[in-house]
Every structure is written in C-alpha cells, then in structure tokens.
Structure 1
Amino acid sequence: ARVRSRGASSASTPLEAHEMREHWWESETAGTTFMRTRSVSNPPAPVGHFQATSSQWYHITIVMMAYATYYTLMSGNLTVASLAAENLGAKKLATMPIVAMFIGAVLFVVPASLTMKRLGRRRSFILGGLAAVFSGATAFVALKLDSFALFLVAGLLLGIFDGFADYLRFAAAETVAASFQGHAVSIALCGGAVCSVLGPELARIATSANSESEGFMIYYLAATGVGLFFCCVSSLMQATPPCLKGSGDLQESLLAASRDSKTREAQSALESVDDGTPEAEMSSIASSTSVRLDLPPRSLRGIVTTPECLTAVVCGMAAQWCMVLMMTGLPLAMVDAYNYSFQRYALTIQIHLLGMFVPGLCTGYLADR
C-alpha cells in the first residue's frame, strides 16, 4: 500500500485549504482506495468528554430497568429465604438456600459469559430471566409441598439467574465510548439503588395480611411475575457488538475494520484518525461500538496475574464476605433471637441495601478523578 496527501490543491478557496486535509490509502492488492478527512477548525472531542446519543440513552435506560428488576428479585430472596427455610423445619440449615444461590452464581458465571459470546447479550439475559421465573415457581411449589430439597433447587435456579444478570453492568458500558463507560455504569446502578427496596417491601406486603408461611408463598408467586418482567425488559435491549479483544496497533486495526465493514459508523470513526492522533484518542475511537478490532487475545493467566486484577478480586472477596455474613445471619438474629417483627427486619434490609447502592451512583465520577 502507498500513502499520499492532498492539501490546498484540492480546495477551491483558501479557507477550504486551511480547514481540509485529505489522506488517501491505495491498496494495490485489494484494489480499493480509502479516504479520511479531518477538519482543523472542528477537531474531535477530547477524551473524557462524551455526550451519549439518543439510542445509547435508550439502551442505558433499558439496562437500568433490568438492573432494578434484578435487584428486586435478589433483595427479596435474601429477605425471605432463610425464614422460609426455617418454616420448612430446617432450622439448622436455614441459610442453605442462600448458599445454593451463590453456588449457582459461581457455577454459571463462566457459562453465562460463553453463552453471551454465542447468543449475544439480549438473548442470554432472556435465558437468565427464565431461570428466575422457574426459581419463583419452584419455590412456590416447594413451600406448598413443604419440601426443603425442592426449595434448595429454587435457590440454585436463582443463582443461575444471578450469574447471567451480573453482566448487566457490561451491557451498560459497552455501547458507549470509553470516556463515558464509568458514568453509564453509575446510571445503570440507579436502577438498583431505587428499586433495591422493592424486594423487601414486596415481601413485607405479602406477609402483612397473611401468616408468614402463606406470605412467603405469595411473595415467590409475585417473584415469578417479576422474572417474566425481566425477560420482557431484556427483549427491548439493543443488540450489542462483539467485545474488543486484547490490545495492539489500533491504527492498523481501524484500517482493517474500514476495509471489512460496510457501515457508515466504522468509516466515520476512521475519518477522525490520522498519523498525529494521540494514542489515548485512538483508544477512545477503538472502543466505539461501531468498530470491531481484530486483535490478538490476552491469555487468562496474563490477565489474572496483573496487580489491577488481583486487587479487584481481593477487594471483591472482602466486600462480599462482609455483606453475605451480615445479610445471611440477620433474619435469624432479629426475628428469632430478638423477636423483632418481619416488618422491622424488612425495613432493616432496605436501609442496608440503600447503603450498598447509593455510594455507587458517584463511582463513575470518582473513577474519572
């Protein structure tokens, strides 16, 4: 391939000559010519400044609704599961349904990722939502039949749903530019912050007018409907492109993407890059949703041995350990040991969940700083 430039000779006026610089790439093997134009008077927006398009705001809003539904189910189950298991006569094993839920999440978090690679985010989230539907129905039948083993199966099914729904944050981030990804995740977390109180509130309403055993059955019947709503919300998501793979020469990858892509977005992304474009700006362009980079993947060992990954894993383990220890033992301590009402306990869980999510609303801004 050979490169040539055209400057003022291609412009009809001195102003056009000042504002326009054209570069042409001619591929002798492919027999094609590519042009990109960059305006000096209207340069690309700097990294860190991004305004989402209407379609991107639509996608973020849908993900936020899915997040709200997801945490409505999870918070409600954490509120009810231990006490419902205790009503089944398994007092010493009352925390096992929550254990089964986390086991299901751990076992299916990798298969969920592989499923999304094959089917895409939207179909995979619908599939995970069906697991939540079956979980609620199974829990209802288990309480009706007084079967603790079947109730454990319901917890495992909800864990499968958790394994899929945990990727919602990536669905929010991957449709926007790199400079806006932290803000997109924070906006999506608004759904969890606002609706994390709905799960305990739903359980409180179900038990207020009925006995606890009947109230728990009513709750899981309602949870089945919430799972169906999650499937409906997931079906409204936009199809997302394949994830970027690895790192490499971004400029060459953009040229390859332009040759292979027939979309206007990929060509416009290429037009904003020239030989003097900073690497950070090229990274922002490369992370746009319209360009698929064909770069060599990184090994799993190379990823998990980085200090950033190890720090995230250790901090995540510590945070999860503290949260699960408190939320698992709290219902048995408050309701059984200290004779608090279920309504008081549900209010305590709601306050705890607000403490979990409200700080997450500003994490995108903190990450930028």
Structure 2
Amino acid sequence: MTDSSHYVVVGAGLAGAATAWQLASRGHQVTLLERNVPASHDASSHGSARIFRYAYPEHFYTRAVVESKALWDGLVAATGTPLISPFGAVDYGSERNPRLLASVLADEGIEHELLSASEARTRWPQIGFDTEVLWHPGAGVIDAETAVNAIVGLAVGNGARLLTDWSLHSIERNGSGYHLTSTSGETLDAGNVVVSTGGWLPRLLGSLSLPDAFLAGLPDITVRQEQAFHFRYIDHGSAGRWPTFIHKAADIQAYGLPGGRDAGFAGQKVAEYNGGPLIPSAAEQTGVVDPANRERVADYVRRYLPGLDPEPYAETTCLFTNTPNEDFLIDRVDNITILSPCSGHGAKFAPLIGQWAADLATGSRGVPDRFRPTAGVSTS
C-alpha cells in the first residue's frame, strides 16, 4: 500500500527541517523523509559548531543574516533551547578585505570595530593577526545538531510526520503528483516535493523526473569532503575568550571556531576552506582525513595561532556542497522544489531558507532571483 502526503520534504538537515516546520506551521500536510536520522553524522548538519556571523562583502547576505537572526530568536523562544552561543567574530587577511566588510556592517547598523593588527593582537594575543581586523560581537556559534532536532520537534508538533531510515531512490510523475520510491522499495505519493539532500543531490538529480531544460539551467554542483581539526588551548583559562575567525591570506583560507562538545570543549576547531578532496557525491565519502591537509592546517596553526597546541587532538570530515558563485539554490519546476543552501555558509540562514523554500513550494511568495537560475527557462 502506498502512503500519501500533500508536501514531502526529503532530507532532515537544517534546511529540510526548517522547510518542513514552515510548511507544517502554515497548516499543510507534511511528511519529512530522512535517509538516516535528523542531523545524521555523515551529512552536513551534524555536530555542535557552525559559525553564525554578519560579515559579508555585500549587503544582500548581511541583511539576510539580520532577517534570519529574528527567526532564530523565535525558534529559541518557541523551544526554550539555546541554539547560538555568543563568541563574536574576527575577519582578517590580505584577501578578506576587513575594511569593506566594516563598511557593509556600518551601512546596516550592525555593531563592529575595525582594528589595526597590533590593536587586535593586544586584545587577542592567542591569534597572530597579519592585517587590519574586523570585529563584530554579535557573531557566535550555532549548535547545528541541537537546532535540527529542535526544528524537527516544532515541525512534528505542528502535525508533520517524520520518517527515518527512508532513503530516496527516485521520483516519478504520477498524474498531477509524484510517486517516491526508497532504496528499500517503500513508496510514498505526494502532491509537492522539496528535495533538500545536501551532498547527495548531484547523484539524485537525474532520477527526480525533472525536465531536461530545468536540469540544464542548474549550476554545476560539486561536493567536497571537508576536513576539520581540533587544537587544544594552551591556556585552558582562555577558552571563553576565543572568537570565531575567518582568515584569508594569499596562501591559505582558514576558519576557526570554539569546538564545543564536538571535541570536549577543549579547543578550537580549525579548517582550510574547501581544503578537502572533490567527490562525486556524499555517497562516495570515505571519512578518511588527507594527511597533507592535516599538515597544512597544523602548519597554519603553528604560524598564525600561537594560543593553540599545533598537534590536533581530534579530527573529522564533513560535506561542503558548492555552487560556482557560492549562492544558494532554491528553485522550482512543476511541483518539485530543489533546495541546496550550500557552499559552507548556509547554516546561519536555516530558518530563513526554510521560509523561502516554503514560500516557493506553496507559491505564496517568490525567492530572491539569484537563487533561481532557471527562472524564465522554458521547460515545455
């Protein structure tokens, strides 16, 4: 017997969970499918440490962060669960342009300071700043796994149904709706489908009954097995004084943040941005850390982070699903919405992305044009 639901959301990471919550809270019949469990350890929304920040080199994304933060605050109020810990953020490096970032924050009325390298080193002697530094205290760290579970809880509380261990194999047109089949042969009928499968998306696109013209209009989506390392604080009393950081130097782009419970609250999580190998899709991830990447990041810590022990005490891999220009993909054809809030910066926008995706899936409102590359493309 085939089950049915008016809206089916595939993928219970941050974006999928937020979309299911938005749809359910508007009174729609919703089923949320997850190939494993929400915030699965082998997907993109696991763990306790994702950067929340306002600093972007363009006004669009900074304004979107402001809008998203209001929704995060609403989630915290609704669940009674803290989801973002305040640490502040520093941005620096010859390729980061802190002065431009500061001008955007100034235009948007967001608290910040532009410091010289020496001023910043006095304030944070554990970091070897090499350029001017943007500091904005409103930044912090998102507990991704807790957030996913809280949002799923709200979706279920509003009537959504959660099905775990349901791995999508294909979607076929079925009259005016769709027939979904899992890899184990389970089936589900839907009037509308939202596909939010992260690093599995490239592998699935060809099996979703999407028009050829729509597929041709989508950006190239690539997946990296990103690698992150945890380094112990030399001064254990400094743990609460470490900000998040983004450092773009000529030879390396790195980011770091307090690691939280992912590694026992004992150190800073540091990674090279897009430093991991390209893989065809999440299905091909190995979970094996590249020794050369480990050495590059350890060498970075030796050079730029004197407050950390340069030998990693923990390490992990995760998934970065990227578009060429790092914009998100929130596009729709017929009654299928493709959702990929990717390129390593989507977590902070999760509740807003859920709102955008629900708006698009229901036809109640549009989404920013930059997220709809196939808008205006004829699919007939």
Same fold (TM over 0.5): no
Larger Rg: 1
TM-score by length of structure 2 reads 0.22
TM-score by length of structure 1 reads 0.23
Q: Which has a greater percent of helix?
A: 1
Q: Which has a greater percent of strand?
A: 2
